[in-house]
């Protein structure tokens, strides 16, 4: 009996990392196949070291909104932290129901020598935090002027 328990502990210890990695991979595949939101962003204005963007899209799954993150995209493709704040109204942090919606206008800064803006949304799905890219907005050709 003690030998059986020992073998069970050894096998469980050896298999635990495999099970965890497999579960994480399965969740990742599921989140890519069935995203929480499908969104897009549009550049509204660009001046100095900041931009104003508009976000809109559709929510496809019932997960709770946690927060939004923005990054400036450098010429070599590196992401650099940027601040993002809603400009058309205060952000209420409330989750949207499934369906289409406008997510408002947002100020993103600083954007030193930036070639683009990348925006992600964090949602809580059960006990997992899921990160979804919601906008990838190029800035090339827009520096110093308001795009049309």
With 0.75 as the threshold, say if the pTM is over it: yes
Tell me the fold of 36-138: Immunoglobulin-like (2.60.40)
Please tell me whether residue 65 adopts helix, strand or coil conformation: strand
pLDDT of 135: 96
> For residue 79, is it left (φ>0), alpha (ψ between -120 and 50) or beta?
beta
Strand ranges of the sheet holding 79-86, from the earlier edge strand across to the other edge: 37-47, 50-59, 99-109, 79-86, 64-73, 116-125, 128-138
CA atoms 106, 108, 114, 117: torsion sign: negative
With 50 as the cut, is the pLDDT of residue 147 above it?
A: no
**pLDDT by residue (tens digit) across 36-90?**
999 999 999 999 899 999 999 999 999 999 999 999 999 888 999 999 999 999 8
Q: How many CA atoms lie within 13 A of 73 on its CB side?
A: 13
The pLDDT of 119-147, averaged and rounded, is 82
């Amino acid at each position: 009996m003690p030998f059986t328990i020992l073998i069970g502990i050894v096998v469980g210890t050896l298999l635990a990392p495999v099970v965890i990695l497999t579960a994480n991979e399965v969740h990742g595949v599921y989140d890519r196949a069935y995203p929480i939101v499908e969104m897009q962003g549009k550049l509204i204005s660009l001046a100095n070291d900041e931009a104003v963007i508009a976000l809109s899209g559709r929510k496809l799954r019932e997960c709770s909104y946690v927060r939004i993150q923005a990054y400036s995209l450098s010429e070599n493709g590196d992401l650099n932290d940027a601040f993002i704040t809603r400009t058309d109204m205060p952000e209420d942090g409330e989750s949207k129901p499934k369906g289409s919606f406008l997510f408002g206008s947002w100020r993103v800064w600083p954007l030193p020598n930036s070639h683009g803006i990348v925006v992600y949304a964090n949602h809580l799905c059960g006990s997992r935090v899921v990160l979804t890219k919601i906008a990838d907005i190029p800035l090339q050709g827009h520096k110093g002027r308001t795009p049309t």
